[in-house]
Chains A and B, each alone.
Chain A
Amino acid sequence: MKILVLVKQTFDTEARITLDEKGQICDKDVNRITNPYDEFALEEAVRIKEKNGAEVVAITLGTEEGEKVLRNALAMGADRAIHITSNLDGLADSRKIAHYLSQVIKGEEADFDLILAGWVAVDNNAALVPGFISEFLQVPLANVVTKLQLQDEMVECEREGDGVSEIISLKLPALVTVQKGINEPRYPTMKNIMAAKKKPIKIINIKELQETEPYTLVKKFYLPVSKGAGKIVVDEGGNSVGELMAFFTEKRFI
C-alpha cells in the first residue's frame, strides 16, 4: 500500500501578519511550521503504516526552507519525501498548485492507494487544493473526515455534518482530507529525528513541470481593521435608556 500525504508549510499560527510597501504579505523572519491539519494527515498515514504496513510519501510544494516540513514528516514516520521547489511568486491560485502536485503524482507516484491531507491550511483558509487534485486524478474525495478505516479496496470515512454525522465509503484509490479530532499527532522522537536525516527527499524544480493558467488572481491583501473602543453608557439617574436608544438609532442598529 502506498499513501501520499500532502503537507504545506504555513506561518506559525502565532505569527503576526504584516504587509510590505507593495501590499504583499511579509514572509521574512516569520517562524514557519507544518500546517497543523496536515500533521493529522501524517499521523493517520503513519498509524496505517504501523498497523497494516504501507509506504508513506510526504509531498510539498514550496520554497527551499519548506524542506523543514518534509524533515518533520520524515521524523514523524514518512519513508521518503518529494519537494517541488518554487519561490511561490504568482502561486496564489489553488488550482494551479493542485495542477503541479497532480502532475508529479501522475508521474512516478501514480500507483498510490490513498492520498491524505489536512482539510484546510491555516494560512489562506482556502481548502481548495485537495478538491482540485481529486478532480485532476479522477479519484473519489471525502472532506473533513474525523475517523478513517481501511477495508479491503475501500476506505470508510466518518464526517461530522451540522447536527448529524455520516459514514461514507470510498473506493481506493481515493483522497481523504482530515479534520482535528481524528488523532493526536505524535512528537517525533530523538531517534526518528536522526533517522529522518538519512531518508531521501526528491527535489523537483517547478520549472521542470508543465505550466498552467491560474483561475483566480489575488487583487489585494489587506489587514482586518482593528476595532475601536466600545461606547460605554453610564446610568446617571435613569437617563441611560434614552441615550442607548439614541445611539442605536444613530448607528441604524434598530
Chain B
Amino acid sequence: MDFRLNETQEMFRDMVRNFARKEVAPLTQELDKKAEFPWKNYKQAAELGILAMTLPEEFGGVEADSISYALAIEELAWASASVADSIMLVEALTYLLHTYGTREQQQKWIPPLVNAEILGSFAVTEPNAGTDAASMQTTAVLDGDCYVLNGTKAFINNAPVADMAIVFAVTDKEKGPRGGITAFIVEKGMPGLSAGKPEDLLGQRSLIVGELIMEDVRVPKENVLGKVGEGFKMAMKCLDNGRIAIAALALGIAQAALDESIKHSKQRVQFGQPIANFQATQFKIANMATEIEAARLLIHKAAFLKDQGVKFSKEAAMAKLFASDLAVRAANEAVQIHGGYGYTKDYVVERLYRDCKITQIYEGTNEIQRVVIARHVYNESE
C-alpha cells in the first residue's frame, strides 16, 4: 500500500495547480458576475493538453490515469468550477467518441473538441426525464438513410452554443433502456435543430446551459454513435466515469472554501484577536480539513480501482456522494466564518456557496447515489 502520488501524477498536478492559480483564479470572479464563458482559460487548457489528457497520443493525449485526471479536475475547480466542468464535458464526449465511434467520427470530432476549436454537448436529460433517464421521450425514427429526431433535451451544458451534440434518443420504445436507446451525433446547422435561451443559473454561472430542441431533425445513419440500441449502456458508463470527476470537482470547491476560511480567520480580528484563535472557528476548520482528507482518499481509491480495471461503481458513487455533500457543508461553513463579508460578491466564498450546490444534483442526484450504494452493499451481503 502506498499513498504517495507517483512522479508523473505529481508533475501533472503541479502544472495544473500553477495554471489554475495564476491564470484561472484571477478571472473567475469577474466571469461569474458577467455569466461569461471562460474562453481564455478554456483555450489555454487546450494548449496545455488538459482537454485531451486521458486520450491516446494520436489524439493529442498522454493517456493520463484516472488519478491524474481527478487531480487535474480538483485543481481546476479550486479556481473555477465552471472551467473544470467545461473540461469534464470534453472528456465525456471524447470518451464516447473514442470508445464507441467509427474511425471517421473520431477523426472528425475529437481533434477540434480537444483543441477548443468547437464546443460540444452531451444530451441525455429531458424536462420529464432526469434521474429517471429511462423515461426519455426524444424519439429517433429510421426513414431511408436518416433517423428523424424529435424531442427536447433540458439543462444541456453548451447547448445554446454547441457545434455538435451527442444526443440520446429512443429508437425502440418496446425495449426501452434495454436496447431501445441510441446515441446520435447531431451537428449544428441541421434543419430543425434549435436551442433554448441560456438558463439563469444559481452557480457555475460561466457555463452556458439550456435546452436542445429537435423538430424533425434528419440525422444521417453514419451519425449513429456506437451500436443502435446501446445508447443507455453508453450513457451509464459515461456517468460512472463522470462520478469520480464530479467528486473531484466538489473536492476542489471544498478545498477552496477551507483555504479561504484559513486566510480570512487569520486576518479577521474580533475581541482583540484573530478569530482563528477561537475554538468555534478552529472546530469548523478541523472538521473541514478532516472531511476533505477523507473525500480525497475516497476519490483516489475509486480512481485507483478504475485504473486497475476492476469494478469501481460503488466507490465512485460513494466518492461523488461524500465529496458533493462535503462541498456544500464546507462552503456553508466558509460563509459563516466570513460573516457578513461572505454574503457579498466581493468574497470568493459567496461564489463557492452557489457553485457547490449543483454537485449534489448532476451526474446522478445524491439520492440516486445512495440507491446505487445501498444496492451494492446489499448485494455484497448476500
Q: Please list the residues of chain A having a beta carbon within 8 angstroms of any beta carbon in chain B.
A: 68, 71-72, 75, 187-191, 193-194, 196-197
Contact = CB atoms under 8 A, between A and B. Distances in A.
B18 A193 contact: no
B367 interface: no
B11 A71 contact: yes
A196 B15 CA distance: 13
B47 to A, nearest CB: 7
Contacts of B335: none
B54 to A, nearest CB: 10
A158 B18 CA distance: 29
B53 A190 contact: yes
A62 B50 CA distance: 31
Interface of B: 7-8, 10-12, 14-15, 18-19, 47-50, 52-53, 60-62, 64
A82 to B, nearest CB: 19
Contact of B61 (A72, A75, A190, A193): A190
Given A187-B19, A191-B49, A72 B11 contact: yes
A68 B60 CA distance: 25
A187 B21 CA distance: 12
A191 B7 CA distance: 15
B55 to A, nearest CB: 10
Contacts of A187: 15, 18-19, 48
A29 B53 CA distance: 29
A10 B64 CA distance: 28
B52 A189 contact: no
Contacts of A68: 7, 10
Given A188-B15, A191-B60, 7 more contacts: A187-B15, A189-B48, A190-B61, A190-B64, A191-B49, A193-B8, A193-B11
A71 B47 contact: no
B19 A193 contact: no
Nearest to B51: A190
A190 B45 CA distance: 10
A187 B44 CA distance: 10
Contact of A190 (B7, B14, B18, B62): B62
Ranked nearest first, the 3 interchain pairs of A and B with the lowest CB-CB distance are A190-B49, A194-B62, A189-B49
A69 to B, nearest CB: 11
Contacts of A71: 7, 11
